[in-house]
Structure 1
């Protein structure tokens, strides 16, 4: 990655830096887009450049087919990142579906020789957890109800019931992402080498602190776990605290590397 990073179909530049020590690549949650990390990116100080992945099938990639398979998505995203060539200070951050996808991408990057500073996984059980629900096969109403269950504010989600045009734009990508999560199965292999930090919230119906602790076995590097107040989308309300935690972890890595 050059110090001047240009946007691509897959990557959006959320925060530039004249002399970045770290490049943080963020993976959106299911149904989300790169814009999910706009506010978080603004909270970082000097030395951190922030990018976000833009999945196909949403926003400016609406005309492209969504990819309902996390392994296939990870192949594509890893290939995009590897196209920049080796780069020190690369770290990945993913929330919910994005956490699993960031992990799978990290595996592919390390296997191809790209060292990672750290992987940050948020609001998602460890990869061996298997979803048994099949909401991606159910009605639009079932999908909307689950989105409301997870949302900090369900009112905007409810508009999908009364605005069919909006639902037609949003729900296909949501359904594809639910399929990707619900059909994902971990493939046994070597643990990551990079440090790994798991972020979880006090009232997330999808992930408990104990489940977050299970990420410990997926790296041979250092492990940390941090708990934040709130529900599944806690980070929208605590962007400053999340950025501070990530920065401390990255700074600690830099100190240990000296």
Structure 2
């Protein structure tokens, strides 16, 4: 039984539970912070504790330099997770950039003999997908334009163009995250020994439904994919959050059969063509 879980330098508690059966650790998308997962954390019932990874260079870690390599982010996160009791049943969930960091963290836990109970990856092609973009080398306007391209409401980002002080505060972490995304190259190793669920949205310009399905090759345990309506940041849609939380909660409380594959669709996909990944 999991007891006495506390936050660390890298981990922040979003939903406490005095006696959790499961612990879900969430990894923010590029440019994001732990607040991205507060609405999701609120949807879980008793028995599940929710933590999120706070990358340096934002919020309460604003004074720390942002890291520009997924391997470094995963090394630090795994080190903190391994300080928890060995009986802790840990599942990992990451969206966009966070999906790859979650995967790299899962590899480290697997190697240490602390295989996660489940890996959830959202809005991101597999680690073997090589990003060819160079957004991180562009000027601030280039960064803002990319954020607008992915946003559910691009107009909400206009403040970054009109408030230089805010842009100066926010964009360094965004640039560092894009550098991490665009320079990451996967080093092949044995597949993970935990089940993987790949989540994707119907109109995501960074990840297709077919690409999400390719995550099946990264596990020797169960695999499934789930499709939700919306664009890249479909998790920001209030109506979608309960459905995502329900899927995660059900998978945390059920054992997937080895080599079992399923696909759950909550909307009809609108396209399956390949595209470059971002964020």
Aligned-partner Cα distance in 1 for 2:249–2:149 = 31
Deviations 1:67-115 (A, max 9, x none): 0000111111111111123134210000000000000000000100112
Cα drift, residue 5 of structure 1: 2.4
Q: Which residue is 1:98 aligned to?
A: 98
> Is 1:249 matched with 2:251?
yes
Q: Which residue is 1:110 aligned to?
A: 110
Deviations 1:106-145 (A, max 9, x none): 0000100112110000000011001101000011001000
> Is 1:75 matched with 2:109?
no
> Is 1:34 matched with 2:37?
no
> Is 1:206 matched with 2:183?
no
Aligned-partner Cα distance in 2 for 1:115–1:88 = 11
- Normalised by the length of structure 2, the TM-score is 0.89
Structure 1, gaps ≥5 residues long: none
Deviations 1:196-252 (A, max 9, x none): 000000000000000000000000000010000000011121111100000111122
Aligned-partner Cα distance in 2 for 1:254–1:125 = 22
Partners of 1:131 and 1:183 within 8 A in 2: yes
Moved over 3 A (4+): none
Q: Which residue is 1:45 aligned to?
A: 45
> Is 1:227 matched with 2:227?
yes
Partners of 1:88 and 1:117 within 8 A in 2: no
Q: Which residue is 1:55 aligned to?
A: 55
Task: Please identify which structure carries the higher helix content.
Answer: 1
Number of aligned residue pairs: give it: 256
Q: Which residue is 2:241 aligned to?
A: 239
Q: Which residue is 1:119 aligned to?
A: 119
Partners of 2:29 and 2:98 within 8 A in 1: yes
Aligned-partner Cα distance in 1 for 2:16–2:119 = 20
Cα drift, residue 2 of structure 1: 5.1
Partners of 2:222 and 2:257 within 8 A in 1: no
Partners of 1:68 and 1:179 within 8 A in 2: yes
> Is 1:139 matched with 2:139?
yes
Cα drift, residue 153 of structure 1: 1.3
Partners of 2:106 and 2:115 within 8 A in 1: no
Structure 2, gaps ≥5 residues long: 259-279
RMSD: 1.5
Q: Which residue is 1:161 aligned to?
A: 161
Partners of 2:222 and 2:256 within 8 A in 1: no
